[in-house]
Structures are given as C-alpha cells and as structure tokens.
Amino acid sequence: MLKQLFKALPILCIALVSAGVLAIVDSYTFIKMKELMDIALSGDMTHFKETAGVLILMAVCLVPLCILTAVTRALYKRRANLNMKRYYVKGVFGKNISEFHKENNAKYISSLTNDFNLLEVNLTDSIYEIGVCLLNFFAGIWMIATVTPWVILLALGVMCLSIIFSMATSKPVSGHMKERSNLFEGYTSYTKEVLSAFHIIKSNNLRERVQNSFNEKSEEVQQKGYVIDKILSYIQASENALMNLMMYTVCAVCGFMAIKGTITIGGVFLVVQGFQKVMWPVMNITEQLPKIFTVKDLMKKIEETLKNEDNYKETVAFKDFKEGIILENVDFGYEESDKILENVQLELKKGGKYLIVGPSGGGKSTLLKLLRKYFNPTKGEILIDGHSLKDIKKQDFFSQVANVEQQVFIFEDTLRNNITLYKDYSEKEIEEALKKAGLTDFVASLPDGLDTMIYDNGKNISGGERSRVVIARGLLAHASIIFLDEAFAALDMERAKEIEQSILALEGVTVINVSHVLFKDTKHRYDKVLKVNHQQVVSM
C-alpha cells in the first residue's frame, strides 16, 4: 500500500516546492516588515517608501503562490488516494472466488469507505502537512536567525521535545483506532444486511428490534470515536501548554534583549513572529505524527483482507475445449470434517448435455462449483482435456465458460450492456441470443428497446425477465461450456421449456444444468441425467 503512495512522490515534491516558495516569500515579507518598523522608528522617509513598495509587491506575489500551493496539494491528494484505492480494488478482484465467498464482503466495503477515509486524513494529508510544517519551521528559523541566533536553539529544543511527546502518546490511540475499524466493519455489515432485508423487516414487524440493535452498534462506534477524541484532546491540551510556556519564555528573553539594546523593536517583532512560525509547525507535526503512526495497524489490517491463502500457481494455458471433463475419485467438503461429495467418478463429453438433479442440500451446486473452478477437490482430480483443472489458468478457463447462476446479478446500466457485458457483438448475434432466451417480444415492447436502463439489480424488470437476461448473456458469450444453476426457477413452465430446448439445441456446446425441475418431455434430450445424493453422483 505504501508503494502506491510513493508513486505520488513526484506530484508531492512539486506541491512541497510550491509550499516552500510560499513559506520563503511569506517569511521574507516579515523580514521586510521588521525593516519597515525600524525605519519608521528612525524617521527615514525615503527608505520607508522604498520598503513599503517592496512589501506591496510581495503581497501581490503571495496571491498566485497561494493558488498554486492549493492546486498542487489537491492534485497530490487525488493521485495518492486514487493510487491506494486502485491497488485495493485490484487486490479484491485478485482474490480467489472460494476465499471471497468464505468471508463477509462487508469487510471490503468497510475498508473502501471507513478505512480509506481514515487513510486519506491520517496518512495522505498528514504526509503533506508534515512536509509543509518542516518548510515553515525552517523559514521561521531563518527569520529568527536574521535577528539573533540564540533563540534557534530554543526552537530546536521545542521541536525535539514535541516529537518525543507525540511518539510516546501515539500507542494508546493506535490500538483504539484498530478497534474502531473492526467495529465499523461490523456496523457496515449490519447496515448492509438490514437494508437488503428492508421488506422482510417491515412486513414482519421487526422494525423496533432492528432499530434497537442498530442503535446499539452505532453507539459502540460512536463511543470508540469519543474515547479516541478524548485521548487526542488530552494530548493536544498538554502540547498547547508546553508551546505557550515556550512562547512566554521567548517573549521574556526578547524583552530582556531589547532593554539591554541587543535587538531593536523591529527585531522583537520579527523574533516573536518567527517563533510563532516555528511553533505552528511544531504543534501541527505533533498532531500529525501520531496519526501517521496509528495508520500502521490500519494498513496491516487492510492488506490482510487482500491475502489469498491459496496461492497455487496455474501453469496450463487453455484456449480450446476439445474432448471432455473427467472427475477421478473426487472428494469435497467445505470443512475438513464434513464431506459433501465422496469418491465421485464422472465423465462429461464435449458437446454433451447433462442434467444434474437430486434432493435439496444433496450437493448439486457444490458439484457445479468444482466444475466451475470456484473450489478445488479436497481429494482426487478433475481433468479437462487431460489437464488437471487446478493447473489451468483461471482467465483461460473462465473465457470458455458461461454461467447462468441461481442468484441473478444485473448491472445498473442499459439492457444491451447487461446482455453483452460490455463486449462487442454484431446486432445479428444479439438478436439471435434474445430470440433463444425468449426476450425478443419483451425488448420490442420497451420504448427504448435495448437502450432501456435497468436499475438497482433489475428492480424495474420481473424476476423471469432478469433470468432471461442472464440466459441471453450466456448464449451470447459463445462459450464452449454453459453451466446453469436453477436458471429456470423464476420462469413459467412453458417459457422454461422453450428456453431449455434452445440451449439443448446448441451444437458442440457442453451444457451442465443443475435443476429441481425435470420436464418429462425434454428429459430425453439430455445425454445423461445425473443424480447427486448421499455424497455420490449416479446416472439415472
């Protein structure tokens, strides 16, 4: 993750150069003000006018510099945050399907929202702030050095003290931050769950229960935030007291030097201004440093969510499905102690049409997940054209298969994009797929046809239409293998039979259809009907 931040280093450097020039010009303005004060006290009108002119010019120069600094800062923030988010999303989609399914995906949502918001404030912003603070610190030192070098020692002492103080106080905050991130994860997961079950909650009068438990969770998160804020305020208050003490000391030292005649009144003004310029960065650094230290744990947690336990290297390219699939003594269980399939022997030929039936919970979808390469067998092997499916590159395999899932997912986009999945197909190919999926009349009835927008996972179309969109997707993909998992469950019997026949008529395409529905009049069109029951797969 840090590497992604380093990629924004060039723009960070530009932003800091701009901020540095701004700090120098600003400090130089104070030096000129000191001169103006001393000249005014000496009554030298000619020099007074000259210096006043320079000051006006400096004030004008500050305007474009301020704008440039603000713009480059915003550009740096955009680049750094985008880099980190892109890296994270790439990592999420690099997860193995099996491992992604095992976890609650709310943790990714929580990372992308809550954790990344924290990273933005506590890391990206803080790095820039610390850079700017250091530049202003040295600009302040320069201002003081033009009057008396002794006060510089005092400033450096303050800086060291503050850094030691902030390092010592960052530890307790860091632990609380991590706990808050975990609480956020649970909170996001719960929010996601209750919003997706909105109608169930309303229609079963669960509103009060859900609201109470939502309030509890939200109170936990707020309480943790309160604890963090409280600790941070104690830290800040102690720092403020330290800084004020230093400031009073400097004022007293400068006053003493002015009485002794070692520095002018303008000098007192410049030292006090310079010391303030030094103090502000020191205070800000002590505020920002604990934030950066606390981010370490958070980044570790974010990286953990991206780790794949199984990093098996796939080596076999698979460009064309030629012969068939063989399952040799395949065992599988989601848990070690719990076998769902045992010693499965099966041969599926290329172009064959297979129907998989069996009782609910018997393991039909599990068998499909193995064939789809979502999981690997715990024992035995699945061979495809003689190669172990485990060794075949995912990308290659997935490009050969189409999946029509039990749970239909529709993107918030046009009907066309939902069917083509953003790939290029000719109008003829699309028409053909629509016809086979029984969507021609439906599309013709829409005023915008294929350009009709579908919203929120297909809320503005029926369940059957959603299923048919996904079937058209599978047909259009020209896949060598089509896996169907209860694809016809949402369709009326006539429509289901019609679509099933279209799919069974696809020549050279292997169809593996898991279904509760077994139509007597289409059964004979399958090469084999397989029953999954008691951990076994048998021909019917």
Ligand X SMILES: Nc1ncnc2c1ncn2[C@@H]1O[C@H](COP(=O)(O)OP(=O)(O)OP(=O)(O)O)[C@@H](O)[C@H]1O
State in angstroms the smallest separation of the CB of 335 from ligand X.
Answer: 7
Tokens encoding 374? 């979502």
Please report which helix (H) or strand (E) contains residue 351, including its range. Answer: none
Span 281-340, contacts to ligand X by CB under 6 A: 334, 340
Among 361, 386, 449, 463, binds ligand X (CB under 6 A): 361
The long-range contacts involving 390-399, CB below 8 angstroms and separated by at least 24 positions, are 390/312, 390/314, 391/314, 391/315, 391/316, 392/314, 392/316, 392/317, 392/318, 393/314, 393/315, 393/316, 393/317, 393/318, 394/314, 396/317, 396/318, 396/319, 397/318, 397/373, 398/373
Question: Which residue lies nearer to ligand X by CB, 217 or 364?
Answer: 364
CA distances (Å), origin 521, targets 303, 494, 498:
54, 12, 11
Q: Binding string to ligand X for residues 29 to 68, with x set by CB under 6 A, is what?
A: ----------------------------------------
Show the DSSP H helices in 352-462 as ranges: 364-371, 394-400, 415-420, 427-436, 440-445
Identity of the residue, 274 or 362, whose beta carbon is nearer to ligand X in the bound complex: 362
Residues 68-107 that bind ligand X (CB under 6 A): 101
Q: Are 25 and 61 in contact (CB under 8 A)?
A: yes
DSSP 316: B
Strands 453-454 and 413-414: antiparallel
Instruction: Choose which of 358, 377, 438, 474 interacts with ligand X (CB under 6 A).
Output: 358
Residue 95 per-residue DSSP state: S
Q: Which stretch binds ligand X (CB under 6 A): 11-19, 147-155, 220-228, 354-362?
A: 354-362
Site string for ligand X, 244-283 (x = CB under 6 A): ----------------------------------------
Rounded least distance, CB 101 to ligand X, Å? 6
Size of the site for ligand X (CB under 6 A): 11
Stretch that binds ligand X, among 310-318, 363-371, 416-424, 492-500 (CB under 6 A): 363-371
Please give the backbone phi and psi of residue 235, each rounded to the nearest 5 degrees, phi first: -60, -45
Looking at 133-141, 244-252, 318-326, 358-366, which segment touches ligand X (CB under 6 A)? 358-366
Q: How far apart are the C-alpha atoms of 30 and 395, rounded to whole Å? A: 63
| Min dist. Cβ of residue 483 to ligand X (A) | 13
Both tokens assigned to 86: 């892109």
If one asks whether residue 364 binds ligand X (CB under 6 A), the answer comes out as: yes
- For the bound state, the minimum distance from the C-beta of residue 416 to ligand X, rounded and expressed in Å, comes to 31
Query: Closest approach of Cβ 366 to ligand X, in Å?
Result: 3
Rounded to whole angstroms, how far apart are CA atoms 237 and 231? 10
Q: Of 20, 266, 281, 363, which lies in the binding site for ligand X, with binding defined by CB under 6 A?
A: 363
| Candidate segments 40-48, 108-116, 295-303, 361-369, binder of ligand X by CB under 6 A | 361-369
Shortest distance (Å) from residue 363 CB to ligand X: 4
Q: Smallest gap, in angstroms, from Cβ of residue 344 to ligand X?
A: 13
Amino acid at 512: I
3-state class (DSSP) for residue 266: helix
**Count of CB atoms within 10 A of residue 205's CB?**
8
Give the one residue of 131, 266, 362, 438 binding ligand X; rule: CB under 6 A: 362
What is the C-alpha end-to-end distance of the chain, expressed in Å? Answer: 54
Q: How far is the CB of 375 from ligand X (least distance, A)?
A: 9
Q: Does 366 bind ligand X (CB under 6 A)?
A: yes
Which residues between 117 and 156 bind ligand X (CB under 6 A)?
none
173 or 340: whose CB is closer to ligand X?
Answer: 340
Residue 360 interacting with ligand X (CB under 6 A): yes
Q: Which residues bind ligand X (CB under 6 A)?
A: 101, 334, 340, 358, 360-366
